[in-house]
Structure 1
Amino acid sequence: MLDVAVVDFLVMRSPVDKKIRRTIDLFDAKIVRVKNPAGTITQELRAVLDEAKPPLKIIVDGEEDLATLPAVLSAPLGSVVVYGQPYEGVVIVEVTEPKRREFEALLEQFRPVGNF
């Protein structure tokens, strides 16, 4: 069962095909829209993930490519975060304490911009 989806309707900055778009549209959930420019993780996106109550579809105006980092930090232990990796396919990350520490370390390498 899908609990939370974070989508920008893009694959490698091009619109997803109609079949993928229809599949995403079929996910029946409350919709929240956030702004998240390419190459960033905004405080708005982090807050929505931190407060997510499933089922929820987060539609990103901008880019959701880095949303996996805060998603792993926000998801309950034992959850699974799934995302697409260009030229590779689907990546599945089980949320564990070691994985959270790894993702937190990655997030600490980012430079704060604006109100982060």
Structure 2
Amino acid sequence: MKIPLGILLSENQADKENILKHLEENSYIITVGDRTTEKMIDFDLIPSLQIVDGIEKREKREPPKLVNTTEITVDNPPAEITSQSIDVIKKAFSMESPVRILVTGEEDLLVLPVCIHAPENSVVMYGQPNEGLVIVKITSEIRNKVQSLLDLME
């Protein structure tokens, strides 16, 4: 997504201290992307839901390491959002966290259904390539904005 859905922290601002300013004590943290997920794990901000694909900037990589994570796999081709992916995202929200969805294909656009189905106290984080980290607090306004984007994509 070319336009960030939330607050964009530039690479040099995306440290633990600045990220914590956007989290509440009981925030349900969701990360989309391998690097973002890895960064949060390194900061000891363990995402309740992590969506990764083992690829960073089109290069294969090892998914971030984290023990005691329930892992679900799903196929989601690049530039698509499959109904199977949406079902898996919904299912993940009802599971004991942390949950990792390992995507075969591409996870980028899954930010959109995540924003629609995330619990009320959620904060979604994803990387904006070559710019920084996007932090989206889930509100009804965000859900409506994202639904409009999804409607345009159909």
Please give the range of the TM-score, normalised by the shorter of the 2 chains: 0.7 to 0.9
* Aligned: 1:73 with 2:73: no
Partner residue in 2 for 1:35? 75
Normalised TM-score (structure 1)? 0.85
Q: Deviations over 1:25-55 (max 9, x none)?
A: 2153111000000000011110011121222
> Identity percentage over the alignment?
37
TM-score scaled by length of structure 2:
0.65
The secondary structure found in structure 2 opposite 1:51 is helix
Equivalent residue of 2:51, what SS? strand
3-state SS in 2 of match to 1:87: coil
- Count of residue correspondences: 106
Shift of 1:9: 1.4
Other structure's SS at 2:71 match: strand
After superposition, the CA RMSD in angstroms is 1.3
* Aligned equivalent of 2:145, options 76, 95, 102: 102
- Structure 2 unaligned regions, length at least 5: 1-45
Partner of residue 13, structure 2: none
Equivalent of residue 61 in structure 1, options 104, 117, 126: 104
Q: Distance in 2 between matches of 1:33 and 1:69?
A: 18
Task: Tell me: higher relative CO, structure 1 or 2? Use CA pairs within 8 A at least 6 residues apart.
Answer: 2
Is residue 8 from structure 1 mapped to residue 48 from structure 2 by the alignment?
no
| C-alpha separation in 1, matches of 2:67 and 2:76 | 21
Structure 1: which 5+ residue stretches go unaligned? 112-116
Question: Which amino acid in structure 2 is aligned with residue 75 of structure 1?
Answer: A
Q: Deviations over 1:71-110 (max 9, x none)?
A: 1111111210011110111111000000000000001111
Q: Which runs of 4+ in 1 moved over 4 A?
A: none
Q: Distance in 1 between matches of 2:117 and 2:65?
A: 24
Q: 1:29 to 1:58 in 2, by over 3 A?
A: same
Q: Which of 87, 102, 109 is the matching residue for 2:130?
A: 87
